[in-house]
Structure 1
């Protein structure tokens, strides 16, 4: 996803954007009826985000992402929907529990065939959010 974020931001500078990435490898045993996107919600955002949309939403994805973008203007986390940022802050688990859970998650994802780079890139933005709360 990092490469999609970087390429998208270079191709469409200073504007929100989205690209469909459905069909990539996913850890699911049953077929999922939806589409996956990478979206940048604000022109000055530093990150783009994975968005999983069920088919009923995917049919109107521009409207759905446009509505999400309206809530991604907070200076606390520019480009990330503010309600999700607040939920992350309010529901954070203690550091020791987080580290244990993270280690267990890494081991489980490695067992599923993901390498460390893939795992870390999936978790990176939560680390960014944690850093923002320490300011």
Structure 2
């Protein structure tokens, strides 16, 4: 499960982004298909944001709106991408069978407005008896008194020295670590998936899975030793490669947006004035 976000143009009051979300389906080590659940433009405009969010939230999760009034444009775009990722998770849960594992590229430690969505997703995963895990490629977990130290990297170094040549995991429950906002209804682990790799990752899971983490991670470890992404779940690697928005795709989407604006009667100079970032002028870059 993954998502991607590319800014096409931005001004002080609104911005336009290309957003994509979806997931890759595997049976054992065999890729079956990649499902794109959303691939469209999003206009981040504080005056329109409720109309963009509320229909999805109410229809799919039974949530009657969230407060986004204090959110800046970048945050609105991030929220919208996250919502589309959660809709992709919801779709995957609906098609999953008991015992399946669903992996999300990211963390479940999210900002307050979206936590009601997570509660609904966790409840559905529990009803379907599906293991839902969030695997973060980077993490803000930290520790240290005099200087803020990256916790995942230090734990990975220590774990590989204590258990060399082995896959391992560590629960952070009751550990002295700055876990950020917390209170998202689950537990966090540091996991080294593959004995041949020195990489360790933050893994978030709903609380109902805590008793079964040993067996879940053991099953998952069998699918994390691909030479393409040693130590990382290959399904997430495939999802990232299939769903990411490339620079060429973003440029093409920007050209299509310009064409649509021209059709409304705007001139090239008006569009350039609207979409040009003055930083690009200072850096002697041009998107037009």
TM-score, scaled relative to structure 1: 0.64
Cα separation, partners in 2 of 1:44 and 1:56, compared to 1, 3 Å: same
Answer 1 or 2: which has greater strand percent: 2
Task: Return the alpha-carbon distance in structure 1 between the equivalents of residues 247 and 155 of structure 2.
Answer: 30
Answer 1 or 2: which has greater helix percent: 1
What is the deviation of 1:95?
4.7
RMSD of the alignment, in Å? 2.0
What is the deviation of 1:91?
1.7
Task: Tell me which residue corresponds to 2:194.
Answer: 42
Q: Which runs of 5+ in 1 are unaligned?
A: 98-135
TM-score, scaled relative to structure 2: 0.31
Task: Tell me which residue corresponds to 2:217.
Answer: 65
Task: Return the alpha-carbon distance in structure 2 between the equivalents of residues 27 and 93 of structure 1.
Answer: 29
What is the deviation of 1:19?
0.6
Cα separation, partners in 2 of 1:9 and 1:95, compared to 1, 3 Å: farther
Task: Return the alpha-carbon distance in structure 2 between the equivalents of residues 64 and 74 of structure 1.
Answer: 18
SS in 1 for 2:170: strand
Task: Return the alpha-carbon distance in structure 1 between the equivalents of residues 157 and 164 of structure 2.
Answer: 10
Task: List structure 1 segments (4+ residues) > 6 angstroms apart after TM superposition.
Answer: none
What is the deviation of 1:79?
1.3
Pick aligned residue for 2:242 from 87, 90, 106: 90
Task: Tell me which residue corresponds to 1:25.
Answer: 178
Bigger Rg over Cα: 2
Q: Which runs of 5+ in 2 are unaligned?
A: 1-151, 251-288
What's the CA shift string for 1:16-65, capped at 9, x where partnerless?
Answer: 0001124543443x722211000111111130111101111111110111
- Would you say 1:11 and 2:157 are equivalent positions? no
Q: Map residues 106-125 of structure 1 onto 2, 5 A cutoff.
A: none
